[in-house]
Amino acid sequence: MRIRKYPTLLTSLGIGLAISANSIAYDCTNLAGYSDTANYVVGNQVTNINNQSEHHAYECTNGWCSIGGPYEPGVGWAQEYTWKDLGVCSGSSSSSGSSSSSTSSSSSSSSSSSSSSSSSSSSSSSSSSGGGSCATLSEWNETTAYLGGSEVKHINTHYKANWWTQNQNPETNSGPVGAGKPWTAIGTCSTSSSSSSSSSSSSSSSSSSSSSGGHVGPYLSDTHIGGRLVDEGGTITYGWPGVYFEGNFTGTSVGLGFLADGNNHYDIEIDGQFHSKLVNPGTTTHWITGLTDGQHSIRVGKRTESVWSISRFSGFIAGNGGEILPPPAPKTRQIEFIGDSYTVGYGVESTGRTCTGTEITAFTNTNISFGALTAKHFDADYHINAYSGLGLVRNYSGNQQNHNYQTYALSALPHDGTNIWQRPASWQPDVVVVGLGINDFSTYVGSGEPWTQDSLRVQFKSDYHNLLDRVRIDYGPDALIVLSATPLQTGNLFKDTVNEIVTERQQAGDNRIAFWFYSTLDSMGCQWHPSKADHVTMSQELINIINSNNMTW
């Protein structure tokens, strides 16, 4: 049995060191101090006091900037994956050092798109400093909630939201990116468009492109959707990893309606085969063109984890001469996965353990996680409700003690613990797989934490039983519940505790619960996470466990 050394959230302790002080002077006159309650997007600049008590400027480089804790600029052990040190401040600014908290933000990190032997993708965009044509923009409304990336017009000015905002007038709450304002003024509205954005894909048989502007005839009602979501009437909002959309259409092209999604990557399949990877679509109709005329199926699967933000989808759009057909029927089998970064498929496509923040985003792919693979084997619909770094009780290394997985366990959107998911009666999974505890036990309890190793174990067992009680109430006595564990560098406490929970419930009369201990992993994914090969192995083990438990589905 091989014991993995670093089954952690983002990085091993050995490489999570704060970067050394930068001697380059940087003008911080117009920069706000870092705040653990603010929402940051890629490109935002702040100041903060680092571990050497030096006042530095930092620039956000990916979507984890708002999480705080290990990602606090100049302070957190994982901050080098999130913030770029711009240098020692030479001008005056307000600064603050603060403890971590989890908040919602948006990012615009991107990576190169993937290709198969028959397809390749590229993207391009251009813009000017003017506001462009505002003809397609809605007037700002104080009662409307805007997502990061949303664009509006107000008093003949074009504005773009830097993060979620409501009732903050852009005229008085705007500034350049990095100024800590919810809005940025793009420019004065003109009578003609001065900006454009497009992406294209070409192959021997098909291509894809994106066009900004209004959507023509999206058909959300003709879309089969997997995963938790909020139905907003005409659009759906989502945030959990692994959400997917499926549809059928005729013709040579089809459009995908996205609204304000600057954070996610998607795998697109046509007729059951990989077609292209879509990166950070924004607000756009993304077109798949050049297909053989006839009937086709399409599947769009969310690769990325973006718990700090939400996205919206408005449905599939028929191309010229085509038609959107009724969607695939829901599967008769359903599986729900509850877990952390291992369940997400964090960094699964990497071929090495060391990854930058951008690479983590690019290499994460929930579509090929053990959960998605297992569901595909059984031809089942699935939900993947997983959140990297969070434990059931204690988060990785004792960080962010103001929340844990239980904060969001019932949430429709993973950044908002108050937005309770309204579970439809149709969602009644036959199997529930729980993978919580790696973050609770992969590091020893440190000084200053509110637990001892023993009290953590006691609370973990109690809270785990409570979670399982809720699962039984929601999904009934016949659902098979599988609890998983894996070797940790801290010893067998995790494995033994989860096994005890299974035994206790079996002794209490629950014969539809099973223990799954997976151990033969190479951990070649980002930051010692399971690799693509590992997820295949894990899926096969889980398939065997499910098959051995007298399923009647």
- In the structure, what pLDDT confidence band is assigned to residue 13 with cuts at 50, 70 and 90? very low
Separation of alpha carbons 454 and 246, rounded Å: 47
Per-residue pLDDT for 7 more than 60? no
Query: Which pLDDT does position 134 carry in this prediction?
Result: 84
Q: Is residue 114 part of a domain?
A: no
What DSSP letter does each residue of 311-345 carry, written as one string?
EEEEEEEE-TT-EEEPPPPPPSEEEEEEESHHHHT
Q: Is residue 360 part of a domain?
A: yes
498 in the same domain as 373 = yes
Q: Which residue has the higher pLDDT, 271 or 260?
A: 271
The structure tokens 């908040």 sit at: 103
- The number of domains in the chain is 4
493 in the same domain as 379 = yes
Burial (CB count <10 Å: 0-12, 13-18, 19+), residue 426: exposed
343-353: burial string, b at 16+ Cβ within 10 Å, e else: bbbbbbbbeeb
* Range of weakest confidence among 142-146, 350-354, 386-390, 434-438: 142-146
175 in the same domain as 38 = no
pTM above 0.75, yes or no: no
Q: Is residue 224 part of a domain?
A: yes
User: Parallel, antiparallel, or unpaired for β 207-211 and 282-289?
Assistant: antiparallel
**CB neighbour list of residue 37: distance below 8 Å, 6 or more residues apart:** 98, 101, 103
304 in the same domain as 422 = no
Per-residue pLDDT for 216 more than 80? no
Q: Is residue 425 part of a domain?
A: yes
531 in the same domain as 382 = yes
User: Parallel, antiparallel, or unpaired for β 513-517 and 480-485?
Assistant: parallel
Separation of alpha carbons 99 and 75, rounded Å: 10
Instruction: Count CB neighbours of 542 within 10 A.
Output: 24
Q: Is residue 11 part of a domain?
A: yes
Cα of 471 vs its chain's centroid, Å: 24
Of 105, 138, 161, the last residue of a domain is 105
Range of 43-52, 62-71, 179-188 with top mean pLDDT: 43-52
Of 305, 325, 345, the last residue of a domain is 325
91 in the same domain as 155 = no
- In the structure, what pLDDT confidence band is assigned to residue 393 with cuts at 50, 70 and 90? very high
User: 181 lies in which domain range?
Assistant: 130-188
Phi, psi (degrees; rounded to nearest 5) at 191: -90, -10
Per-residue pLDDT for 531 more than 80? yes
Q: What is the domain-level CATH number for residue 182?
A: 2.10.10.20
418 in the same domain as 292 = no
376 in the same domain as 245 = no
Of 105, 139, 171, the last residue of a domain is 105
Nearest to 134 by CA among 119, 150, 154: 154
Per-residue pLDDT for 116 more than 60? no
- In the structure, what pLDDT confidence band is assigned to residue 66 with cuts at 50, 70 and 90? low
- In the structure, what pLDDT confidence band is assigned to residue 131 with cuts at 50, 70 and 90? low
Separation of alpha carbons 152 and 133, rounded Å: 11
Q: Which residue has the higher pLDDT, 400 or 468?
A: 468
Q: What is the domain-level CATH number for residue 519?
A: 3.40.50.1110
463 in the same domain as 348 = yes
Q: What is the domain-level CATH number for residue 232?
A: 2.60.120.260
Separation of alpha carbons 521 and 535, rounded Å: 9
272 in the same domain as 170 = no
141 in the same domain as 214 = no
310 in the same domain as 438 = no
In the predicted model, what is the mean pLDDT of the chain?
A: 82
Q: Is residue 112 part of a domain?
A: no
pLDDT in tens, 276-333: 999 999 998 999 999 999 999 999 999 999 887 889 999 999 999 999 999 999 999 9
Are 74 and 47 contacting, i.e. CB atoms less than 8 angstroms apart? no
Percentage above 70 pLDDT, the chain: 77
* Range of weakest confidence among 35-39, 175-179, 208-212, 438-442: 208-212
HSE (side-chain half, CA atoms, 13 Å) at 92: 0
Q: Is residue 44 part of a domain?
A: yes
Query: Which pLDDT does position 178 carry in this prediction?
Result: 56
Per-residue pLDDT for 48 more than 60? yes
Q: Strand, coil or helix: what is 224? A: strand
Q: Which residues are catalytic?
A: 341
Q: Is residue 433 part of a domain?
A: yes
Separation of alpha carbons 312 and 302, rounded Å: 12
pLDDT in tens, 70-107: 577 887 656 666 788 899 988 644 444 333 333 333 33
The structure tokens 């028929």 sit at: 318
